[in-house]
Amino acid sequence: MFTKQMKGNFPMRHSMNRRYHNWNYTSPAIYMITITQENRRLPLLGKVIVDKHSNIPEEILAHCEPTRLGKIVWKTWKDMMNSFPGIRPLYFQLMEEHIHFILQVMQFLERPLGKHIAAFKARCTQQFRQLYNSPTGSLFARGFQDTILFRKGQLPRMFNYLKDNPRRLAVKRLFPDLFRVTRYIPFDTGFLNGIGNCFLLQAPYFYQAQVSRSIEVSSVDFQRKSDEMAEAVSQNAVVVSPCISPGEKELAKIAFQHQAPLIALRNNDFPPLYKPSGAYFDACANGRLLLLAPPGLGYQMGHRKLTRTEACILNSIAQKICGDFAADISYHGLVPAELEKLVASSLQPPTH
């Protein structure tokens, strides 16, 4: 889903209070807002209840049962958001220690949206203090995270994402090992960081999805690659891809559609609170996905542009994973010894 998030050279740490800089928050738009408790270790708003257990994650059903405070916060949100001129509340999803909601700003506001959200948070904190007899306690952390929806089709996807939150949390708790970031998995001369099914690295058979940028996905050459992958998958191969070129991304998509096991490489490390979303989430839960990142490349918040050097590193790592099944790749002027040094450096933990 395309969203606009904060860009620029900002501290490289995960945050639940990201804001889109250089945006006029009095402007008409649809906003998805996330607000977290100040103390997330003590959930006060609700409890996720599993309604249907299953060994198949997609079949699990769950909901978040609000606490007394959660019901108060929910009612306060409805009452206040309906009273603000120019703001239309669209959806509210309560979780155990945070809330998500979608608002539509219908016209230019007299005050920035953040002022209305601050008023809502202040009212909730006032009710929290009364309920818990805590004169100075704060319910919510400072600030909020927002996602601004700019394209048609995003709103239904956002609705579905928020409605699915309780199920995803239930799945994470039922299959915890598949959703933890594993740091420093021994690999070659160093380490990789990963999330998902690390046992995929031990598969006896791999297929490296390598497609040149010059190959169009509508071409005969690409269809040949797709057929080649399908044949490998039929023999229980694990697909390995850095997902760099359009063709490689399309092959990964096809692998997903056919529920083939996939190891995907990325040039951006995982933040502390990282969790896969969308199709990646259910693939992780089913043990069909392993996301890997070289720790030496570090983490950058937001979109990180892939450099040619990083592309070469990811391709080389994919070759090392595949071993005897590796694809032949030309690195165009990058001598093997130099490439090995770059890869070795990327596999080392960053120095602080």
Domain boundary (120, 153, 173) is at 173
Q: Is the pLDDT of residue 177 over 60?
A: yes
Residue 352, in any domain of the structure = no
Do 157 and 15 belong to one domain?
yes
What is the tens place of the pLDDT at every residue in 62-78?
Answer: 999 999 999 999 999 99
- Contact (Cβ atoms closer than 8 angstroms) between residue 69 and residue 45: yes
For 71-83, give the DSSP string.
HHHHHHHHHHHHH
Residue 309: count other Cβ atoms within 10 Å of its Cβ.
14
Quick one: which of 162, 171, 201 has its CA closest to 185? 201
pLDDT of residue 157: 82
Residue 68, in any domain of the structure = yes
Q: Is the pLDDT of residue 193 over 90?
A: yes
- CATH number of the domain to which 143 belongs: 3.30.70.1290
For residue 4, list its beta bridge partners: 148
Measured in whole angstroms, the distance separating CA 118 from the mean position of its chain's CA atoms is 27
What is the tens place of the pLDDT at every residue in 24-66?
Answer: 999 999 999 999 999 999 999 999 999 999 887 778 999 999 9
What is the 8-class DSSP label of residue 135?
T
Do 205 and 130 belong to one domain?
no
Question: For the residues 201-206, what does the mean pLDDT come to?
Answer: 88
Per DSSP (E only), the strands in the chain are 3-4, 29-36, 46-52, 61-66, 87-94, 98-105, 145-149, 181-187, 190-196, 206-208, 238-241, 262-265, 289-293
- Quick one: pLDDT band at residue 1, thresholds 50, 70, 90? very low
Tokens (6 digits) for 38 = 């100040």
- Quick one: pLDDT band at residue 278, thresholds 50, 70, 90? confident
pLDDT of residue 16: 41
Residue 32, in any domain of the structure = yes
Do 193 and 300 belong to one domain?
yes
Do 279 and 267 belong to one domain?
yes
pLDDT of residue 302: 80
Highest mean pLDDT among 51-55, 105-109, 252-256, 276-280: 105-109
| 257 vs 194: which has the higher pLDDT | 194
Do 8 and 157 belong to one domain?
yes
Do 19 and 54 belong to one domain?
yes
> CA dihedral defined by 136, 137, 142, 143, rounded to 10 degrees?
-100
Q: Is the pLDDT of residue 13 over 90?
A: no
pLDDT of residue 84: 95
For residue 87, list its beta bridge partners: 105
Residue 205, in any domain of the structure = yes
Domain boundary (131, 158, 173) is at 173
Residue 332: count other Cβ atoms within 10 Å of its Cβ.
7
Do 79 and 128 belong to one domain?
yes
- CATH number of the domain to which 272 belongs: 3.40.50
d(CA 69, CA 127): 8
Residue 240, in any domain of the structure = yes
Residue 223, in any domain of the structure = yes
Quick one: which of 177, 198, 131, 163 has its CA closest to 285? 177
Do 185 and 169 belong to one domain?
no
Which residue, chain included where needed, has tokens 């559609």?
257
Domain boundary (114, 139, 173) is at 173
d(CA 309, CA 330): 13
Do 16 and 46 belong to one domain?
yes
Do 199 and 242 belong to one domain?
yes
pLDDT of residue 23: 86
pLDDT of residue 241: 95
Range of the domain at 16: 3-173
d(CA 228, CA 215): 15
- Quick one: pLDDT band at residue 211, thresholds 50, 70, 90? very high
Q: Is the pLDDT of residue 20 over 70?
A: no
* Total domain count, the chain: 2
Residue 224, in any domain of the structure = yes
Report the chain's mean pLDDT, rounded to a whole number: 89
Highest mean pLDDT among 122-126, 165-169, 199-203: 122-126
Q: Euclidean distance between the first and final Cα of the chain, in Å?
A: 33
Do 164 and 208 belong to one domain?
no
Quick one: which of 116, 138, 128 has its CA closest to 72? 128
d(CA 299, CA 13): 8
- Quick one: pLDDT band at residue 205, thresholds 50, 70, 90? confident
- Quick one: pLDDT band at residue 21, thresholds 50, 70, 90? low
Question: For the residues 250-273, what does the mean pLDDT come to?
Answer: 91
What is the tens place of the pLDDT at every residue in 293-332?
Answer: 999 999 998 888 999 999 999 999 999 999 989 999 988 8
pLDDT of residue 294: 97
Do 153 and 233 belong to one domain?
no
| Lowest-confidence pick of 90-94, 167-171, 217-221, 237-241 | 167-171
Residue 351, in any domain of the structure = no
What is the tens place of the pLDDT at every residue in 114-127?
Answer: 999 999 999 999 99
